[in-house]
Chains A and B, each alone.
Chain A
Protein backbone atom coordinates (compact mmCIF):
# COMPACT_ATOMS: atom_id res chain seq x y z
CA UNK A 1 0.00 0.00 0.00
CA UNK A 2 1.33 3.42 -0.95
CA UNK A 3 -0.03 6.71 0.38
CA UNK A 4 -0.10 9.84 -1.74
CA UNK A 5 -0.88 13.35 -0.53
CA UNK A 6 -1.96 16.26 -2.70
CA UNK A 7 -1.99 19.78 -1.29
CA UNK A 8 -4.26 22.68 -2.23
CA UNK A 9 -4.92 26.13 -0.85
CA UNK A 10 -8.06 28.18 -0.63
CA UNK A 11 -9.13 31.39 1.05
CA UNK A 12 -12.57 31.71 2.62
CA UNK A 13 -14.47 33.51 5.33
CA UNK A 14 -16.77 32.17 8.02
CA UNK A 15 -18.28 32.82 11.42
CA UNK A 16 -19.47 30.53 14.18
CA UNK A 17 -23.08 30.75 15.28
CA UNK A 18 -25.63 28.21 16.49
CA UNK A 19 -29.19 29.53 16.06
CA UNK A 20 -30.41 27.15 18.80
CA UNK A 21 -28.31 29.02 21.37
CA UNK A 22 -28.93 32.46 22.82
CA UNK A 23 -26.80 35.41 21.67
CA UNK A 24 -25.04 35.33 25.04
CA UNK A 25 -24.26 31.61 24.76
CA UNK A 26 -22.99 32.09 21.21
CA UNK A 27 -20.64 34.85 22.32
CA UNK A 28 -19.46 32.86 25.32
CA UNK A 29 -18.70 29.69 23.35
CA UNK A 30 -17.44 31.17 20.10
CA UNK A 31 -15.91 34.48 21.25
CA UNK A 32 -14.65 36.66 18.41
CA UNK A 33 -15.51 33.92 15.90
CA UNK A 34 -19.18 34.80 16.53
CA UNK A 35 -18.88 38.19 14.73
CA UNK A 36 -21.72 37.87 12.15
CA UNK A 37 -19.76 39.75 9.49
CA UNK A 38 -17.27 36.91 9.44
CA UNK A 39 -13.51 36.73 9.19
CA UNK A 40 -11.22 34.79 6.90
CA UNK A 41 -8.38 32.32 6.65
CA UNK A 42 -5.95 30.98 4.11
CA UNK A 43 -6.75 27.30 4.38
CA UNK A 44 -4.37 24.58 3.33
CA UNK A 45 -5.93 21.27 2.37
CA UNK A 46 -4.03 17.99 2.26
CA UNK A 47 -5.82 15.01 0.78
CA UNK A 48 -4.19 11.62 1.26
CA UNK A 49 -5.25 8.63 -0.81
CA UNK A 50 -3.92 5.10 -0.63
CA UNK A 51 -3.76 2.10 -2.91
CA UNK A 52 -1.58 -0.45 -4.56
CA UNK A 53 0.75 0.81 -7.28
CA UNK A 54 -0.64 0.02 -10.73
CA UNK A 55 2.04 -2.10 -12.43
CA UNK A 56 1.42 -0.52 -15.85
CA UNK A 57 1.33 3.17 -14.89
CA UNK A 58 3.38 3.10 -11.70
CA UNK A 59 0.67 5.26 -10.13
CA UNK A 60 -1.49 4.86 -7.04
CA UNK A 61 -3.74 7.45 -8.61
CA UNK A 62 -3.50 9.74 -11.61
CA UNK A 63 -2.53 13.05 -9.97
CA UNK A 64 -4.09 15.00 -12.80
CA UNK A 65 -7.46 13.39 -12.11
CA UNK A 66 -7.07 13.91 -8.37
CA UNK A 67 -6.28 17.57 -8.97
CA UNK A 68 -9.34 17.94 -11.19
CA UNK A 69 -11.59 16.36 -8.58
CA UNK A 70 -10.14 18.64 -5.88
CA UNK A 71 -10.64 21.70 -8.05
CA UNK A 72 -14.18 20.80 -9.02
CA UNK A 73 -15.51 19.47 -5.72
CA UNK A 74 -13.69 21.66 -3.23
CA UNK A 75 -11.91 24.70 -4.60
CA UNK A 76 -14.61 25.83 -7.05
CA UNK A 77 -17.13 25.62 -4.21
CA UNK A 78 -15.09 27.08 -1.36
CA UNK A 79 -12.28 29.30 -2.63
CA UNK A 80 -13.04 33.00 -2.09
CA UNK A 81 -16.45 32.17 -0.58
CA UNK A 82 -18.28 32.99 2.62
CA UNK A 83 -18.67 29.41 3.86
CA UNK A 84 -21.80 30.04 5.97
CA UNK A 85 -23.72 31.60 3.10
CA UNK A 86 -22.35 29.97 -0.03
CA UNK A 87 -21.54 26.34 0.79
CA UNK A 88 -24.73 24.27 1.32
CA UNK A 89 -23.28 22.02 4.06
CA UNK A 90 -22.86 25.03 6.30
CA UNK A 91 -26.43 26.23 6.16
CA UNK A 92 -27.08 23.65 8.91
CA UNK A 93 -23.60 22.96 10.30
CA UNK A 94 -21.12 25.40 11.82
CA UNK A 95 -18.11 25.83 9.49
CA UNK A 96 -15.48 24.90 12.07
CA UNK A 97 -12.27 23.30 10.84
CA UNK A 98 -13.65 19.97 12.10
CA UNK A 99 -16.81 20.28 10.00
CA UNK A 100 -14.84 21.58 7.03
CA UNK A 101 -12.65 18.45 7.06
CA UNK A 102 -15.76 16.25 7.29
CA UNK A 103 -17.55 18.13 4.47
CA UNK A 104 -14.50 17.87 2.19
CA UNK A 105 -14.21 14.14 2.94
CA UNK A 106 -17.89 13.65 2.06
CA UNK A 107 -17.51 15.63 -1.17
CA UNK A 108 -14.48 13.60 -2.28
CA UNK A 109 -15.46 10.12 -1.15
CA UNK A 110 -17.75 9.19 -4.04
CA UNK A 111 -15.71 11.03 -6.66
CA UNK A 112 -12.41 9.16 -6.39
CA UNK A 113 -12.71 6.14 -8.61
CA UNK A 114 -9.56 4.08 -8.08
CA UNK A 115 -7.79 5.43 -5.04
CA UNK A 116 -9.13 4.97 -1.55
CA UNK A 117 -9.50 8.13 0.50
CA UNK A 118 -7.33 7.88 3.62
CA UNK A 119 -7.21 11.26 5.27
CA UNK A 120 -8.40 14.83 4.84
CA UNK A 121 -6.28 17.37 6.70
CA UNK A 122 -7.35 21.00 6.84
CA UNK A 123 -5.04 23.70 8.19
CA UNK A 124 -6.94 26.79 9.31
CA UNK A 125 -3.63 28.43 10.22
CA UNK A 126 -0.10 26.98 10.42
CA UNK A 127 -0.82 26.43 14.15
CA UNK A 128 -4.13 24.59 13.85
CA UNK A 129 -5.23 21.65 11.74
CA UNK A 130 -7.84 18.90 11.81
CA UNK A 131 -7.54 15.35 10.47
CA UNK A 132 -10.58 13.33 9.43
CA UNK A 133 -10.30 9.63 8.53
CA UNK A 134 -13.98 8.91 7.94
CA UNK A 135 -14.43 7.61 11.48
CA UNK A 136 -18.03 7.44 12.68
Chain B
Protein backbone atom coordinates (compact mmCIF):
# COMPACT_ATOMS: atom_id res chain seq x y z
CA UNK B 1 0.00 0.00 0.00
CA UNK B 2 1.45 3.38 -0.95
CA UNK B 3 0.95 6.65 0.83
CA UNK B 4 1.25 10.25 -0.41
CA UNK B 5 3.51 11.13 2.50
CA UNK B 6 6.13 8.61 1.39
CA UNK B 7 7.77 11.13 -0.96
CA UNK B 8 8.84 13.19 2.04
CA UNK B 9 9.91 10.33 4.23
CA UNK B 10 13.63 10.62 3.53
CA UNK B 11 13.65 14.34 4.38
CA UNK B 12 11.58 13.54 7.48
CA UNK B 13 13.99 10.89 8.70
CA UNK B 14 16.87 13.30 8.08
CA UNK B 15 15.05 15.87 10.24
CA UNK B 16 15.10 18.38 7.40
CA UNK B 17 11.41 19.21 7.09
CA UNK B 18 10.16 22.49 8.52
CA UNK B 19 9.03 22.38 12.17
CA UNK B 20 5.42 22.45 11.08
CA UNK B 21 5.84 19.60 8.58
CA UNK B 22 7.80 17.57 11.13
CA UNK B 23 4.92 17.82 13.58
CA UNK B 24 2.40 16.86 10.88
CA UNK B 25 4.56 13.88 9.86
CA UNK B 26 4.94 12.79 13.49
CA UNK B 27 1.17 12.71 13.76
CA UNK B 28 0.86 10.85 10.47
CA UNK B 29 3.27 8.00 11.32
CA UNK B 30 1.21 7.25 14.43
CA UNK B 31 -1.67 6.23 12.19
CA UNK B 32 0.03 4.99 8.97
CA UNK B 33 1.70 1.60 9.34
CA UNK B 34 3.34 1.83 5.88
CA UNK B 35 5.16 5.06 6.71
CA UNK B 36 5.90 3.94 10.28
CA UNK B 37 7.59 0.72 9.08
CA UNK B 38 9.49 2.56 6.35
CA UNK B 39 10.66 5.33 8.68
CA UNK B 40 11.80 2.77 11.24
CA UNK B 41 13.79 0.82 8.61
CA UNK B 42 15.43 4.05 7.42
CA UNK B 43 16.33 5.16 10.94
CA UNK B 44 17.87 1.75 11.63
CA UNK B 45 19.80 1.98 8.40
CA UNK B 46 21.13 5.43 9.34
CA UNK B 47 22.28 4.07 12.69
CA UNK B 48 24.00 1.09 11.09
CA UNK B 49 25.81 3.36 8.61
CA UNK B 50 26.85 5.60 11.48
CA UNK B 51 28.35 2.74 13.43
CA UNK B 52 29.99 1.20 10.33
CA UNK B 53 31.28 4.61 9.22
CA UNK B 54 33.19 5.33 12.42
CA UNK B 55 35.83 2.82 11.58
CA UNK B 56 39.23 4.50 11.28
CA UNK B 57 41.09 6.12 14.15
CA UNK B 58 44.32 8.10 13.88
CA UNK B 59 47.31 6.85 15.85
CA UNK B 60 48.57 8.96 18.73
CA UNK B 61 51.95 9.09 16.97
CA UNK B 62 50.35 10.69 13.93
CA UNK B 63 48.46 13.13 16.13
CA UNK B 64 51.73 14.22 17.76
CA UNK B 65 53.40 14.57 14.38
CA UNK B 66 50.68 16.90 13.07
CA UNK B 67 50.71 18.89 16.30
CA UNK B 68 54.46 19.38 15.97
CA UNK B 69 54.15 20.34 12.31
CA UNK B 70 51.51 22.94 13.10
CA UNK B 71 53.44 24.47 15.95
CA UNK B 72 56.54 24.55 13.73
CA UNK B 73 54.64 26.51 11.11
CA UNK B 74 54.29 29.32 13.65
CA UNK B 75 57.97 29.60 14.33
CA UNK B 76 60.24 31.81 12.31
CA UNK B 77 62.77 29.92 10.31
CA UNK B 78 66.32 30.46 11.45
CA UNK B 79 69.19 30.00 9.05
CA UNK B 80 72.16 28.10 10.31
CA UNK B 81 75.62 27.86 8.82
CA UNK B 82 74.82 24.30 7.76
CA UNK B 83 72.06 25.59 5.56
CA UNK B 84 74.52 27.48 3.36
CA UNK B 85 76.40 24.55 1.81
CA UNK B 86 73.31 22.71 0.53
CA UNK B 87 71.95 26.07 -0.59
CA UNK B 88 75.02 26.69 -2.78
CA UNK B 89 74.69 23.23 -4.30
CA UNK B 90 71.01 23.77 -4.84
CA UNK B 91 71.73 27.08 -6.57
CA UNK B 92 74.14 25.40 -8.96
CA UNK B 93 71.54 22.78 -9.76
CA UNK B 94 68.89 25.42 -10.11
CA UNK B 95 71.00 27.35 -12.60
CA UNK B 96 71.15 24.18 -14.68
CA UNK B 97 67.41 23.72 -14.77
CA UNK B 98 66.45 27.40 -14.83
CA UNK B 99 66.04 27.54 -18.59
CA UNK B 100 63.80 24.49 -18.55
CA UNK B 101 61.84 25.91 -15.64
CA UNK B 102 61.21 29.24 -17.35
CA UNK B 103 59.85 27.38 -20.36
CA UNK B 104 57.71 25.17 -18.15
CA UNK B 105 56.44 28.14 -16.15
CA UNK B 106 55.45 30.01 -19.29
CA UNK B 107 53.57 26.96 -20.56
CA UNK B 108 51.79 26.63 -17.20
CA UNK B 109 50.82 30.30 -17.20
CA UNK B 110 49.52 30.07 -20.76
CA UNK B 111 47.50 26.99 -19.81
CA UNK B 112 45.94 28.85 -16.88
CA UNK B 113 45.16 31.87 -19.06
CA UNK B 114 43.58 29.56 -21.55
CA UNK B 115 41.42 27.99 -18.80
CA UNK B 116 40.41 31.42 -17.50
CA UNK B 117 39.42 32.45 -21.03
CA UNK B 118 37.43 29.20 -21.43
CA UNK B 119 35.63 29.84 -18.13
CA UNK B 120 34.80 33.40 -19.23
CA UNK B 121 33.53 32.32 -22.66
CA UNK B 122 31.51 29.38 -21.35
CA UNK B 123 29.90 31.66 -18.73
CA UNK B 124 28.79 34.13 -21.36
CA UNK B 125 27.51 31.31 -23.56
CA UNK B 126 25.53 29.79 -20.69
CA UNK B 127 21.77 30.29 -20.51
CA UNK B 128 22.17 31.26 -16.85
CA UNK B 129 25.54 33.01 -16.68
CA UNK B 130 25.23 33.99 -13.03
CA UNK B 131 24.05 32.12 -9.93
CA UNK B 132 23.40 35.28 -7.98
CA UNK B 133 21.81 38.03 -10.06
CA UNK B 134 22.25 41.43 -8.51
CA UNK B 135 23.86 44.77 -9.18
CA UNK B 136 24.21 45.30 -5.45
CA UNK B 137 27.64 44.30 -4.15
CA UNK B 138 26.13 43.86 -0.68
CA UNK B 139 23.95 41.08 -2.10
CA UNK B 140 26.57 39.44 -4.28
CA UNK B 141 29.35 39.24 -1.69
CA UNK B 142 27.33 37.47 1.06
CA UNK B 143 26.10 34.93 -1.50
CA UNK B 144 29.62 33.50 -1.63
CA UNK B 145 29.79 33.13 2.14
CA UNK B 146 30.12 29.46 3.05
CA UNK B 147 30.66 28.46 -0.57
CA UNK B 148 34.32 29.40 -0.85
CA UNK B 149 36.98 29.17 1.85
CA UNK B 150 37.95 32.86 1.64
CA UNK B 151 36.43 36.30 1.67
CA UNK B 152 36.97 39.28 -0.60
CA UNK B 153 35.73 42.82 -1.09
CA UNK B 154 33.82 44.26 -4.02
CA UNK B 155 34.30 47.86 -5.14
CA UNK B 156 31.48 50.38 -5.45
CA UNK B 157 30.88 50.93 -9.18
CA UNK B 158 27.83 53.17 -8.95
CA UNK B 159 29.52 56.31 -10.26
CA UNK B 160 31.51 54.54 -12.96
CA UNK B 161 30.71 53.16 -16.40
CA UNK B 162 30.75 49.63 -14.99
CA UNK B 163 27.75 47.78 -13.70
CA UNK B 164 27.75 44.57 -11.67
CA UNK B 165 25.62 41.83 -13.23
CA UNK B 166 26.15 39.10 -10.66
CA UNK B 167 28.39 36.26 -9.57
CA UNK B 168 28.89 32.54 -9.69
CA UNK B 169 31.18 29.82 -8.39
CA UNK B 170 34.16 28.98 -10.59
CA UNK B 171 36.65 26.12 -10.43
CA UNK B 172 40.25 26.31 -11.56
CA UNK B 173 42.12 23.02 -11.23
CA UNK B 174 39.29 21.93 -8.95
CA UNK B 175 39.94 24.87 -6.62
CA UNK B 176 36.71 26.72 -5.85
CA UNK B 177 36.75 30.46 -6.42
CA UNK B 178 34.53 33.41 -7.22
CA UNK B 179 33.61 34.78 -10.63
CA UNK B 180 32.03 38.22 -10.89
CA UNK B 181 30.54 39.52 -14.11
CA UNK B 182 30.60 43.22 -14.94
CA UNK B 183 29.24 45.06 -17.95
CA UNK B 184 30.67 48.10 -19.62
CA UNK B 185 28.84 49.39 -22.69
CA UNK B 186 28.19 46.17 -24.65
CA UNK B 187 31.12 44.27 -23.21
CA UNK B 188 31.15 41.69 -20.44
CA UNK B 189 34.12 41.37 -18.13
CA UNK B 190 34.82 38.55 -15.68
CA UNK B 191 36.77 38.99 -12.49
CA UNK B 192 38.03 35.67 -11.11
CA UNK B 193 39.32 35.34 -7.56
CA UNK B 194 41.19 32.26 -6.32
CA UNK B 195 43.34 31.57 -3.26
CA UNK B 196 46.90 32.19 -4.39
CA UNK B 197 48.49 29.18 -2.73
CA UNK B 198 46.07 26.75 -4.38
CA UNK B 199 47.07 27.69 -7.92
CA UNK B 200 49.42 25.28 -9.64
CA UNK B 201 52.00 27.89 -10.58
CA UNK B 202 53.46 31.06 -9.09
CA UNK B 203 52.32 34.24 -10.81
CA UNK B 204 53.74 37.63 -11.53
CA UNK B 205 51.37 40.57 -11.60
CA UNK B 206 50.81 41.97 -15.07
CA UNK B 207 48.68 42.84 -18.06
CA UNK B 208 48.44 40.84 -21.23
CA UNK B 209 46.59 40.70 -24.47
CA UNK B 210 45.64 37.06 -25.08
CA UNK B 211 44.02 36.37 -28.43
CA UNK B 212 40.84 38.49 -28.36
CA UNK B 213 40.91 39.20 -24.63
CA UNK B 214 42.61 41.75 -22.48
CA UNK B 215 43.63 40.47 -19.10
CA UNK B 216 45.17 41.74 -15.92
CA UNK B 217 46.15 39.72 -12.88
CA UNK B 218 47.51 40.64 -9.48
CA UNK B 219 47.80 39.36 -5.95
CA UNK B 220 46.01 40.95 -3.02
CA UNK B 221 45.61 39.64 0.53
CA UNK B 222 46.62 36.09 -0.44
CA UNK B 223 44.20 35.99 -3.35
CA UNK B 224 44.97 36.00 -7.07
CA UNK B 225 42.69 38.20 -9.17
CA UNK B 226 42.22 37.72 -12.92
CA UNK B 227 40.28 40.31 -14.93
CA UNK B 228 39.41 39.21 -18.45
CA UNK B 229 37.15 40.52 -21.18
CA UNK B 230 36.90 41.72 -24.74
CA UNK B 231 36.70 45.36 -23.63
CA UNK B 232 39.71 47.56 -24.39
CA UNK B 233 42.78 47.26 -22.13
CA UNK B 234 42.06 50.65 -20.52
CA UNK B 235 38.65 49.41 -19.30
CA UNK B 236 40.23 46.24 -17.94
CA UNK B 237 42.88 48.31 -16.15
CA UNK B 238 40.23 50.69 -14.73
CA UNK B 239 38.18 47.82 -13.31
CA UNK B 240 41.33 46.24 -11.88
CA UNK B 241 42.18 49.58 -10.26
CA UNK B 242 38.77 49.74 -8.62
CA UNK B 243 39.35 46.32 -7.07
CA UNK B 244 42.83 47.25 -5.89
CA UNK B 245 41.66 50.47 -4.20
CA UNK B 246 40.61 50.20 -0.55
CA UNK B 247 36.87 49.52 -0.40
CA UNK B 248 34.40 51.28 1.85
Chains A and B form a bound pair:
no
